[in-house]
Amino acid sequence: MAANGRADEVHVEVEARLRHLDQRYTRGRRAIIDLLVSAGRPVSISDVAEGLPDLPLSSAYRHLADLQIAGLVRRVAANDEFARFELAEDLTEHHHHLHCVSCGTVIDFTPSAAFERNVTQTVDKLAETEGFQPHSHRLDVLGLCANCH
């Protein structure tokens, strides 16, 4: 199954990057990464608690913080006030999010390259007129997911 292949590649990359920071790729960290890979969308802390019931919450928070610092995980601002996390785009691909305003679920989606080009161009141009130096962008679509309508 493709997901396993993907997970393996990710593990290799994560381990290398942690090593570079004199950090170890331990069981707990690996479990978090596995969860993020298999979820394929941003997960909340309660998703982690549910998926990894033996991992103490404090460790989950610490792992996620460490992985963020290492640039391997990204915090996603959802519409509710709960933190969500996903693999950094280096480990996946550029994508955006659909946020269900009813149940809070966040789903990944990847628009066409042409659309992305248009967004990037517009962003670069507009941002320059504001004296703003853009690094990246994110597009969130709010609405109701398939389960909620």
Partner DNA sequence: CTACTTGCAAATGCTTTGCAGGAGA
Partner DNA sequence: TCTCCTGCAAAGCATTTGCAAGTAG
Where do contacts with a second copy occur on this chain (CB under 8 A)?
Answer: 75, 77-79, 81, 83, 98, 100-101, 107, 109, 111-112, 115, 118-119, 122-123, 126-127, 130-146, 149
Asked if residues 49 and 79 have their Cβ atoms less than 8 Å apart, the reply is no
Q: Residue 103 CB, nearest distance to DNA (Å)?
A: 16
Q: Which of 26, 28, 34, 30 is nearest to 4 (CA)?
A: 34
**Pairwise CA distance, residues 13 & 87, whole Å:** 12
Which of residues 10 and 42 has its CB atom nearest to a second copy in the complex?
A: 42
CB of 60 to a second copy, least distance (A): 16
Out of DNA, a second copy, none, what residue 45 binds, judged by CB under 5 to 8 A for its kind, is DNA
Piece of 62-70, 102-110, 119-127, 128-136 that binds DNA (CB under 7 A):
62-70
Q: Does 62 contact DNA by CB under 7 A?
A: yes
Residue 103 binds which of DNA, a second copy, none (CB < 5-8 A, kind-dependent): none
C-alpha Rg value of the chain to the nearest Å? 17
What's the CA angle centered on 145, arms 143 and 146, to 5 degrees? 140
Q: Do 104 and 147 meet the contact criterion of CB atoms below 8 Å apart?
A: no
